Amino acid sequence: MRPAAAPLTALAALLALVLLVPAAPAPAVPAAPAGPAGTGPSPAADRWTATAPGGRVGATLERLDDGALRLSVSHDGHTVLRPAPVGITTAHGDFTRGLTLVGTDSRRVAERYDTVVGKRLRHRADAVEHTFRFENAAGGRMALVVRADDDGIAYRYVLPHEGPVTVTAEASAFAPPPDATAWLAPYGVTYAQRPFEAAVADVPDGAYAYPPLFRTAPGTYALVTEADADGRYGGTRLTRRDGAFAVTLPDAGGETAPGPLATPWRVAVVGDLAGVVESDLVQDLAPPSRVADTSWIAPGAAAWSWWSDSASPHSLAAQKEYVDLAVRQGWEYVLVDEGWDAAWVPELVAYARARGVGVWLWSRWSDLETQEQRDAKLPLWKSWGISGVKLDFMDSDSQERLAWYDAVLADTARLRLLVNFHGATLPRGIERTWPHVLTVEAVAGAELYKIDPKRIGPDVNATYPFTRNAVGTMDYTPVTFSTADRRTSDAHELALAVLYESGVQHFADSPESYTRHPEAADLLASVPAVWDETRLIDGEPGERAFLARRSGAAWYLGGITAGNRAQTADFRLGMLPPGRHLLEVFRDADPDGGRDGIAVERRTVTRGDRLTVPLAADGGFAARVCPAEPGRTTCGRGPTDARLTADPGGVLAAPGRSVEVTTGFTAPPDAPARNVVVDAVVPDGWRLSAPEGPTRAPTLPPGRTLTATWRATPPSDAALRSYEVVTRARYDAVDVPREHARRLLVDPAEVVLPPPGLSHVESDAGHALTLSWIHATATSSYVEWRREGDAEWSRTDADFDGVRHHATVGPFEEGLVDLEYRIVAGDDVSPVHTARLVDPAAVTVVDDGAAGHTENGRWLGSSVTGWDGGRTRYTGTAGDTAVWRAELPDGLYEVAAYVPAHENSTAAASYAVGERTTGVDQRAAGGTWVALGRHRPDAGALAVRLTAGAGFTRADAVRFIRVD
């Protein structure tokens, strides 16, 4: 664990007069004679040196002839950051020149504290701090507090003025040598710009985001950022000018706060690359936790549907699928992004809670901007039982916006709601002060694959461990196999789950994608979200990053490379404790042949062994290591061979009448199950009887079954709909690490309280028409159907499963069939419905790769809502044209164009195919496919020409369906 500096309360930082721990002898060495040891530098000196307790890191403060201040930073006696201005300007005075030292104080800062997330959970801070009190020519006072820590140097200004203080500018700057190498990103309010590498002398003038990394000499680095920023100040940025990087305020009118004011810390983490990556200096400088009881704060992994299916947050059924994914994977949460409906969220929460999964909800920050909004919405959402909120689109570093962070964090902490910030500012120690903040975006993460893939790539991934993630928890949303735009290998993607630290790790791909990658699903089911220790094994920013992280007795390793060539990772396993360990390596399946596929290797190792892993181009690996014990074959969760069965799986019932539900838990066929507990969960308001039969077994022998029965009774006024009685079994698996032993199996029994007659009719029209329905009394039924325009009806009998009737009509040989159908059950006959059946093989869609359109309710592209830039849509001027052309075999085609919804547009447009022209009104037709008639190709092709009216928004999609 790296020693790091401890934080101060704002008041203590102001005047720092009391020694917490006696200072080491002569911690500050002035050029002129100093005062007594431990009392700080002499007030008569014009040059002072503050040295960290370990003696390797130091800061030198100089007062020039004009009374201006300069500060430089050294490591092992060599300059890391050249002398650069220090000073501040306020509405009450200029403290950038004409300064006279009027007093100093020194103290030793030593502290131990715990966090909920981060590179480690237990921290030790050890630093020397000096306060230099200056007076300007007008008699105004300013104190400069300089802290020297073995991990780096930090300084802040303290303005003792009583009453409001307005800071109009800072002179603060950092000056790496011109020949230093920099890794930095242009400034943007979401901190999601693409980082790049350049010599400092070649970095263009302009605004840059924290935290830039500088290699000032072989093996020596400085990472520049700020810490302890909140609503008393704005979040600053760096401006490259005059050979240095100047601290720039976000607000044109300055930052105003009640006095006395202590500004955020200006921070330089200094050392070798491992020292930078492993440092906690930013957290050490942050104020202590403002949440006294953190027992409710639970980090974990989450299933997140938006990345793989942007329309899925609109669907309760889709979100239940992601809850089921979380259950299979043993993940703690599911995140429901933009589009959720208050009408069904409580049902989703109940569904998830019965399965041991917590629910997070997305919200735009502006929906919680005022106290009135927060008082209305946050308690309501909490009453639904959600675990946390994802707050998005803050998009500002202004003092006003940082004050909003303070307010919303106080409110969420009071309500015990976890927080994830997206579209957010950089974390500056927030996870220590507000420990319920489990993660923050502020990164060009996997979301950029959907928005701007050029901002992301293997080299970017290999930069973040040394820059963005080095200063705070980071929500990259990793392990995305199914994007067509990535250059990374499958193993590279998997490694990000270990390489990046986030208190809630949102795994962004679909259930189907993780099913296609079972090796990855195995690792993702076990990888922790919190760590006891973090070590850099090897790395070069932008080229490779190999990290090791420990959780309890287990070590996880993650490594990635960038570059269009195969490479090899080779290092000693010296981080392991003595003894024999089981090693599982997840690597590129074919390092020389391609990026697809993950191979798994297992063997026993000791700390003296080396790990050699061949890596594909832009490849990677992940590994987990645990103590080798007799019978242990994996460090993960292993297979779930036990079974749980609810009987019946579904039943029709009535309000006030009991139903009997039996559950049977069967131990794995070749191993016992220990500490078995079975139970049942009923909907709110239902009664559940005492169980008949045992519900606990300390040890259940292999293949044996534990059976219990309950009677569940709905209230007499229960709504007539479908419910779940969820049967559950918890048990400990054997021959796996203790932290992965506890398992939860769930099998629900559906209990339907149907209304009289037909109900719960569901249809899915694809290549065939799939129907299901419920009838209160009938046990046999059928569907009648005919092609549109035909006179005669055909009949397809339905199957009955005890609750629902099921029938399928089709598929047909034609590429497109329009049907009419009706359901007949007992004496009840449904109205006639229509359905269009489309053979996917008969469909050709021409677009620009990002069309936002649906087909039979299924999203076929990415949403265009809220995005612009020409790739997904444009707002045209009168006369704008676009042409879509498809080369097609001879035949008859139904042609349609997708018109995007646009609430504020009444623009018109016309689409021409051959001799036919079709006019559309965007407000009326928006969000639909507009039929353009049936046509045959001319010379093997069909073309559609759009002529837009002013303000018409075009989505890039035209569809051709062969109908003959």
Q: Are 324 and 330 in contact (CB under 8 A)?
A: no
Q: Are 352 and 686 in contact (CB under 8 A)?
A: no
Q: Please report where in the chains the tokens 């759009």 appear, as a residue.
A: 946
452 is catalytic: no
The DSSP string of 737-764 is: -GGGTEEEEEEEEEEE-PPSSEEEEEEE
Tens of pLDDT along 719-760?
999 999 999 999 999 989 989 999 999 999 999 999 999 999
Residues 6+ apart with CB under 8 A from 483: 446, 449, 450, 453
Buried-state track 916-941, b at ≥16 Cβ within 10 A, e below 16: eebebbbeebbebbbebeebebeeee
- The proportion of the chain whose per-residue pLDDT surpasses 90, expressed as a percent, equals 81
* Helix/strand/coil for 396: coil
Q: Alpha carbon of 926 to those of 142, 567, 722, 853: distances in Å?
A: 61, 51, 34, 11
Pairing of strands 437-440, 418-421: parallel
User: 579 — phi, psi (to 5°)?
Assistant: 115, 180
CA dihedral 66, 71, 76, 77 (to 10 degrees): -10
Length of the chain: 964
Kindly report the average pLDDT of the chain as a whole number.
90
In the predicted model, is pLDDT for residue 864 greater than 80?
A: no
392 is catalytic: yes
Pairing of strands 696-700, 673-681: antiparallel
Residues 6+ apart with CB under 8 A from 831: 822
- Estimate the share of the chain in helix, then strand, then coil, as percent rounded to the nearest 5: 15, 45, 40
The upper half-sphere exposure of residue 578, i.e. CA atoms within 13 Å in the direction of its Cβ, equals 0
Q: Are 617 and 565 in contact (CB under 8 A)?
A: yes
Separation of alpha carbons 769 and 775, rounded Å: 20
CA dihedral 331, 333, 338, 344 (to 10 degrees): 120
**One-letter identity of residue 726:** V
Q: Are 867 and 937 in contact (CB under 8 A)?
A: no
Separation of alpha carbons 345 and 335, rounded Å: 12
Separation of alpha carbons 481 and 510, rounded Å: 9
Question: Mean pLDDT across the stretch 37-56?
Answer: 70
Q: How many CB atoms lie within 10 A of CB 77?
A: 8
pLDDT of residue 903: 58
Separation of alpha carbons 886 and 463, rounded Å: 42
| Dihedral sign (CA 592, 598, 602, 606) | positive
pLDDT of residue 19: 29
- Residues in a beta bridge with 84: 71
User: 448 — phi, psi (to 5°)?
Assistant: -65, -20
* Helix/strand/coil for 329: helix
Nearest to 270 by CA among 50, 119, 70: 50
> Which residue in 392, 431, 490, 956 is the catalytic one?
392
Tens of pLDDT along 555-601?
999 999 999 899 999 999 999 999 999 999 999 999 988 899 999 99
Separation of alpha carbons 616 and 620, rounded Å: 7
pLDDT of residue 383: 98
The DSSP string of 422-489 is: SS-PPPSSHHHHSTTEEEE--S--TTHHHH-GGG--HHHHTTGGGTHHHHS-----------TT--S-
Tens of pLDDT along 111-136?
999 999 999 999 999 999 999 999 99
Identify the helix (H) or strand (E) that includes residue 673: strand 673-681
Residues 6+ apart with CB under 8 A from 317: none
Q: Please report where in the chains the tokens 């330089």 appear, as a residue.
A: 268
Tens of pLDDT along 169-188?
999 999 999 999 999 999 99
Across 218-313, where does the E strand assignment appear? Answer: 220-227, 237-241, 244-248, 255-262, 265-271, 300-304
More confident: 404 or 453: 404
- Residues in a beta bridge with 913: 916
Q: Are 769 and 821 in contact (CB under 8 A)?
A: yes
- Residues in a beta bridge with 785: 794, 821
In the predicted model, is pLDDT for residue 30 greater than 60?
A: no
In the predicted model, is pLDDT for residue 953 greater than 70?
A: no
Nearest to 297 by CA among 420, 383, 189: 420
Separation of alpha carbons 553 and 625, rounded Å: 9
Separation of alpha carbons 772 and 759, rounded Å: 10
pLDDT band at residue 279 using 50, 70 and 90 as cut-offs: very high
pLDDT of residue 725: 97
Q: Are 513 and 308 in contact (CB under 8 A)?
A: yes
pLDDT of residue 40: 43
* Helix/strand/coil for 136: coil
Burial of 806 (0-12, 13-18, 19+ CB in 10 A): middle
Separation of alpha carbons 847 and 871, rounded Å: 10
Pairing of strands 265-271, 220-227: antiparallel
Q: Please report where in the chains the tokens 């006019």 appear, as a residue.
A: 919
Nearest to 837 by CA among 766, 898, 731: 766
Tens of pLDDT along 82-99?
999 999 999 999 999 999
Q: What is the 3-state secondary structure (H, E, C) of 845-883?
A: EEECCCCCCEECCEECCCCCCCCCCCCCEEECCCCCEEE
More confident: 900 or 619: 619
Token pair listed for 839: 């053979």
Q: How many CB atoms lie within 10 A of CB 36?
A: 8
More confident: 627 or 905: 627
pLDDT of residue 904: 56
> Which residue in 170, 397, 441, 447 is the catalytic one?
447
pLDDT band at residue 905 using 50, 70 and 90 as cut-offs: low
Residues 6+ apart with CB under 8 A from 785: 769, 793, 794, 795, 796, 809, 819, 820, 821, 822
Phi-psi region of 140 (alpha: psi -120 to 50; beta: other; left: phi over 0): beta
- Residues in a beta bridge with 146: 130, 155
Q: Alpha carbon of 318 to those of 299, 314, 749, 780, 857: distances in Å?
A: 24, 8, 19, 30, 12
Q: How many CB atoms lie within 10 A of CB 799?
A: 12
Separation of alpha carbons 583 and 603, rounded Å: 5
Tens of pLDDT along 787-814?
988 999 999 999 999 999 999 999 998 8
Rg (CA), the chain: 32
Q: How many CB atoms lie within 10 A of CB 35?
A: 17
Question: Mean pLDDT across the stretch 545-559?
Answer: 97
Separation of alpha carbons 311 and 854, rounded Å: 10
Q: How many CB atoms lie within 10 A of CB 844?
A: 17
Nearest to 392 by CA among 429, 434, 317, 337: 337
pLDDT band at residue 2 using 50, 70 and 90 as cut-offs: low
- The proportion of the chain whose per-residue pLDDT surpasses 70, expressed as a percent, equals 91
Q: Are 50 and 148 in contact (CB under 8 A)?
A: yes
